[in-house]
Amino acid sequence: MSLAEQLIIRRLGLQPYQPMWERMQAFTAERTADTVDEIWQLEHEPVFTQGYAGKAEHLIETGDIPVVEVDRGGQVTYHGPGQSVVYLMIDIRRKKLGVKHVVAQMEQSVIALLNDYDLDAYARADAPGVYVDNAKIASLGLRVRRGCSFHGLACNIDMDMTPFLRINPCGYAGMPMTQLADLVPDLDAAQAHNQLVGHLAQKLGYTDIQSLSTLD
């Protein structure tokens, strides 16, 4: 089995943002040509993250939720418990993938998840992410360094949506936001989290997959 087909999926539960960001940076800086790709799936404690080109005007009233300026593209978004955050630590050069292809597969993975629940979802060229009935359900923000990706996507599964009202999500004033639990009665949220990562791994061409629950 080639390295390009191997993947470690780490399901890490609820985590603070800053330490996980630092671990992503360290993993990417220290990885070698023999490092197996990883996908980290987790939820974050409440936090607003602002992309490196983000504009302060999109922070309306952040209140007691911290704002962290990060090294990904895009504008401000919110992370909180009940949101599926998926980080892609992938050697895209080894897999012979372009950044646009990886972004498209992230979008298609969310669309596939929603299709599992008979929901019509779509991506938009003018505003990256995934939408249902003109409301955004998933945001994307990727960074590539030395041919390797980090950061990833955030899909709203079953969470408190009110903090999105404190910002212009992804830089769009009045952007409607939605979540899977509002669209699917009796949603099994844990199953939805797993389905999302399963779709992503499949679409990125991984066939030898190991699942872990820690970073050690």
Q: Distance between CA 167 and CA 161 in Å, rounded?
A: 12
pLDDT in tens, 68-108: 999 887 889 999 999 999 999 999 999 999 999 999 999 99
**pLDDT at 172 (0 to 100):** 82
Q: Note the pLDDT of residue 204.
A: 97
Q: Is the pLDDT of residue 138 over 90?
A: yes
The pLDDT value recorded for residue 216 is 79
User: Sign (positive/negative) of CA torsion 125, 99, 49, 163?
Assistant: positive
3-212 maps to CATH 3.30.930.10:
yes
Structural Rg of the chain based on CA atoms: 16
pLDDT of amino acid 129: 93
pTM of the model: 0.95
Q: What is the tens place of the pLDDT at every residue in 10-29?
A: 999 999 999 999 999 999 99
For residue 127, is pLDDT > 90? Answer: no
Q: How confident is the model over 171-209, as pLDDT tens digits?
A: 888 889 999 999 999 999 999 999 999 999 999 999 999
Per the structure block, which two tokens stand in for 118?
A: 């008979």
- The bridge status of strand 83-89 relative to strand 37-44 is antiparallel
Q: Measure the CA–CA gap between 10 and 13, rounded to whole angstroms.
A: 9
Give the active site residues: 170
Q: Where do the H-state alpha helices sit in 150-188?
A: none
Question: Residue 33: beta bridge partners?
Answer: none
Give pLDDT, residue 158: 98
E-strand ranges in 96-134 read 122-123, 130-132
* Residue carrying the six token digits 């629940």: 117
Boundaries of every domain in the chain: 3-212
b/e sequence 108-145, b meaning 16+ C-beta within 10 Å: bbbbbbbebeeeebebeeeebbbbbeeebbbbbbbbbe
What does each C-alpha distance from 130 to 10, 145, 213 come to in angstroms?
A: 24, 25, 27
pLDDT in tens, 25-72: 999 999 999 999 999 999 999 999 998 888 889 999 999 999 999 988
Q: How far apart are CA 180 and CA 149, in angstroms?
A: 27
